[in-house]
Amino acid sequence: MIWTHNLRVKTFILLLLILSFVLISCESNNNDTTNIGPEEPFPVTLKMAIWNSDPKFIAYMNEKTKAFQEVLPHVTVEVEAFLSDSDYLQSMRVRSAASQLPDLFELKPNWLQLFEHDLIPLNEFEVTKRNNIAERFAVNEKIIAIPTSLQPEWVYYHPSVFDRLQLEIPQTWSEFITVLQAINEDGAVIPLALGAKDEWPTYPFNEFLPHLLSGNETYLSDMAKQSMPFGEETPFYTGYKKVAKLYHADIMGPDPLSVGWNDAVELFTSGDAAVLAAGQWFLPLYLAETGGLEDLDAFPLPYRDNENEPLRQMSFADHFLGISQESLHQEEAETFLTWYFSPENYKDYLDNAMSESVFREISSTNAFTRKIISQTDATQFIYLPGDEQYTRLSNAIQLDVKTLGQDMLVGRSVDQIATQLNERWKKAKGE
């Protein structure tokens, strides 16, 4: 039938026209980009955990990290700060067990092994390769965190006291004790503010002095190879004999164990104590309390027996910053790490932390430290923590050198300490 055939043809043509119109409309819409912009990234919050006992520095970090939004506008860095490193460590260990670590967090060098499996390797990062010492703190050949600062250890003193009593900077251990005894005989101020009630402030003597005496930065790891590393003629025994002479010289006031760290700081900053031993991290605290450095100077711990022996300057690498394996924003965290350690930002960090640089071609401008270094012939000596074997053995015998300082102050002898530690050490080694 002709009529039916024509109807089919017309219907087919109509369908073609409709389909063509739809296709043209779709193409037109696809080509119209006037209302389509780039896809906005989702907001990201990076959590960063640090510790610092200086509230002013914590305020600086909170402000500094806000500037990262100039690099990645969709990323906010949220800083969680602890005033105490012991509280900080406890919190991080709990979070590690619960798989709730922050995206970025700091560590001390002797904590690196504890968090080896919580951090991503940073060996191939450009910023890691610019760091002078990061490789020396690798754990099983993995660089899992980047050291931020280097803190020389000093014996701080008030020049006004030394000048009044015509005292010279001691060059040997016996001279050091003699100077403190002269201050004690004068009676105007306490010679040495230690703060041993809190146990950790004994570290310059009970922890670092044997290490310095050994002359070996890997001293702790080497101890693990020995059967009796605490006995006579070892750096530990010789060093503790020196410390015992200091602790029994009656130069820390009537009751050293009743004075905590905060009390010691107050005694020293108020001028009621002449000497205090601490790292360079103490400088900002002193400045915050006194407002100036006019009556402050320092010298390296004079642990040697005579001036012909080399003098080593203990320096402690600190605030190792790493990225959590659990972070959901590792790419943003990596970008932050690169930004954080860029020359401009890092130099600003050094100025505020009053720290020494650990990056190539970036130098600290700390005039106080530059002056002290120019006045001493001491060579830099970097604290390296013990290896995995040392850590296992020291944990097995519950070795806490800072607590041993308190034990010595209440009369426990070096021989008693050394004998007991050697027995425990041999047992832990299975010998």
DSSP class per residue in 297-353 = EEE-----SSTTS--EEEEEEE-EEEEBTT-S-HHHHHHHHHHHTSHHHHHHHHHHH
Cα 196 from chain centroid (whole Å): 22
Average pLDDT, the chain: 92
What residue type is 408 in one-letter code? M
Q: What is the pLDDT of residue 13?
A: 47
Q: Provide the token pair at 5.
A: 């055939």
Other C-beta atoms closer than 10 Å to the C-beta of 324 total 24
- What global pTM score does this model have? 0.88
360, two tokens: 């190539």
What residue spans define the domains of the chain? 44-148+319-365, 151-316+381-429
Pairing of strands 312-318, 149-157: antiparallel
- What six digits make up the tokens of 3? 């009529």
For 200, counting Cβ atoms within 10 Å of its Cβ (0-12 exposed, 13-18 middle, 19+ buried), the class is middle
CATH topology match: 44-148+319-365 vs 151-316+381-429:
yes
List the end-to-end C-alpha distance of the chain, in Å, as a whole number.
Answer: 111
- DSSP 8-state code for residue 42: P
Domain 151-316+381-429 adopts which CATH fold?
D-Maltodextrin-Binding Protein; domain 2 (3.40.190)
- What is the DSSP secondary-structure string of 108-133? -GGGGGGGGGGB---TT-HHHHTBSS
- The SS3 of residue 81 is strand
Q: Is 44-148+319-365 in CATH node 3.10.450.230?
A: no
In sequence order, the 6+-apart residues with CB closer than 8 A to the CB of 253 are 190, 259
Helix (H, G, I), strand (E, B) or coil at 51: strand
Query: In angstroms, rounded to a whole number, what is the distance separating the alpha carbons of residues 226 and 164?
Result: 48
Query: How do beta strands 273-279 and 149-157 pair?
Result: antiparallel
**Res 55: pLDDT:** 87
How far apart (Å, rounded) are the C-alpha atoms in residues 365 and 353? 11
Single out the residue of 149, 69, 76 nearest to residue 107, CA to CA.
149
Residue with the two structure tokens 């296992």: 392
What are φ and ψ of residue 166, in 5° steps? 55, 50
Report the 10 Å Cβ neighbour count for 158.
20
Predicted confidence at residue 34, as pLDDT, reads: 46
Provide the 8-state DSSP code for 7: H
Distance CA 401, CA 314 (A): 17
Rounded-to-integer distance, Cα 301 and Cα 171, Å: 9
**Residue-level pLDDT at 431:** 82
User: Which amino acid is located at 130 in the chain?
Assistant: R
Residues of the chain whose pLDDT is less than 50?
Answer: 1-19, 21-36
The position carrying tokens 């430290």 is 369
CA angle 298, 300, 304 (to 5 degrees): 140
d(CA 163, CA 153): 23
| Measured distance CA(317)–CA(356) in Å, rounded | 9
Q: What is the pLDDT of residue 38?
A: 60
Whole-angstrom Cα distance, residue 48 to residue 45?
Answer: 10
Continuous segment of H or E residues that includes residue 16: helix 2-31
- 193 to each of 197, 369, 376, how far by Cα in Å? 11, 21, 23
Tell me the sheet residues that pair with 151. Answer: 316
Neighbours of 379 (CB within 10 A): 10
Q: Which two tokens stand for residue 427?
A: 């047992």
Q: Determine the Cα–Cα distance for residues 153 and 148; give it in Å rounded to an integer.
A: 16
